[in-house]
């Protein structure tokens, strides 16, 4: 389960933001409003100078409400989906703070920051986005699995998200993206499902749990797989047994893939 979990953690960090484009002409630049980044920084670190210059680019290359940040020399480059443009300034300040904390942490910089009101606002906003998101993308096989899991473990109380197939992957099994309210499941389960439908339900349960459980925010770090989550995860019937069957099935699928391509 460990490798699987690590990958899920990675995918949950920001399912939407990984793709970053270098080509400048891909962006329609909006260089106005960088003052907001400095403001966001000063609210977190009232004692410090703001030693960076910042750029914000709004682009179509993200899913709705996707965003990322890069450090280049002294420049903080933010890329934001256009949908952020219509969001209140308070919430956008929280977004910039969240992104800065992430990149400072990745650089192992001593910048702990404070969990400000703005980050709470931002997280509240993200947690409630699903309400307004149209559910237009629902694969029938995945819906079957979702309905079983919802009925059995959530009293049918979880509102259906978008349910889509991902790549044919044996390592990246599933993800839930809060911002687009979408569960994505590896296509490998299309085949595995024929022999053992519980394997798909097992992964589906993990992802539905994310939707139901949301996330806890702690100093700008979102904890998706905290101990409460782990405890609930183990409530899947015969957790250990299904986990073992899943590992074995994936092993076989990997071998098959290698033979197929050799
Ligand atoms: Zn997860």
Contact yes or no for 118/90 (Cβ under 8 A): yes
Which of 235, 236, 216, 237 has its CA nearest to residue 225? 216
CA of 257 to the centre of ligand 1 (A): 25
CA of 261 to the centre of ligand 1 (A): 30
Q: What DSSP line would sit under 28-46, residue for residue?
A: EE--TTTHHHHHHHHHH-T
- Where is average pLDDT lowest: 55-64, 186-195, 200-209? 55-64
pLDDT bracket for residue 255 (50, 70, 90): confident
How many CA atoms lie less than 13 Å away from 225 in the CB half-sphere? Answer: 18
Note the pLDDT tens digit of each residue in 207-236: 999 998 876 555 555 677 888 889 999 999
For the CA atoms of 93, 96, 98, 102, the dihedral, rounded to the nearest 10 degrees, stands at -160
42-69 average pLDDT score: 88
CA of 204 to the centre of ligand 1 (A): 10
Q: Is the pTM of this model over 0.75?
A: no
CA of 53 to the centre of ligand 1 (A): 35
Domain ranges of the chain: 15-132, 140-261
pLDDT bracket for residue 11 (50, 70, 90): very low
Residue 21 has pLDDT above 80, yes or no: no
CA of 228 to the centre of ligand 1 (A): 12
140-261 folds as Zincin-like (3.30.2010)
């Amino acid at each position: 389960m460990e490798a699987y979990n690590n990958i899920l953690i990675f995918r949950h960090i920001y399912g939407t933001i990984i793709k970053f484009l270098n080509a400048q002409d891909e962006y329609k630049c909006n260089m106005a409003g960088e003052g907001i980044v400095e403001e966001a920084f000063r609210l977190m670190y009232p004692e410090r100078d703001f030693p960076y210059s910042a750029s914000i680019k709004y682009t179509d290359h993200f899913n709705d409400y996707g965003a990322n940040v890069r450090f280049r020399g002294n420049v903080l480059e933010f890329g934001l989906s256009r949908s952020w443009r219509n969001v209140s300034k308070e919430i956008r300040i929280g977004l910039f703070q969240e992104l800065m904390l992430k990149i400072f942490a990745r650089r192992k910089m001593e910048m702990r920051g404070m969990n400000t009101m703005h980050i709470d606002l931002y997280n509240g906003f993200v947690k409630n986005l699903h309400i307004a998101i149209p559910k237009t993308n629902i694969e029938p096989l995945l819906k079957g699995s979702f309905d079983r899991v919802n009925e059995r473990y959530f009293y049918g109380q979880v509102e259906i998200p978008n349910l889509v197939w991902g790549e044919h992957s044996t390592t990246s099994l599933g993800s839930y993206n809060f911002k687009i309210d979408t569960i994505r499941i590896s296509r490998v389960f299309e085949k595995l499902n024929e022999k053992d439908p519980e394997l798909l339900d097992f992964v589906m349960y993990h992802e539905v749990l994310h939707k139901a459980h949301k996330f806890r925010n702690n100093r700008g770090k979102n904890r998706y797989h905290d101990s409460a989550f782990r405890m609930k995860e183990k409530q899947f019937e015969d957790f250990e047994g299904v986990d073992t069957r899943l590992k074995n099935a994936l092993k076989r699928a990997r071998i098959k893939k290698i033979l197929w391509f050799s």
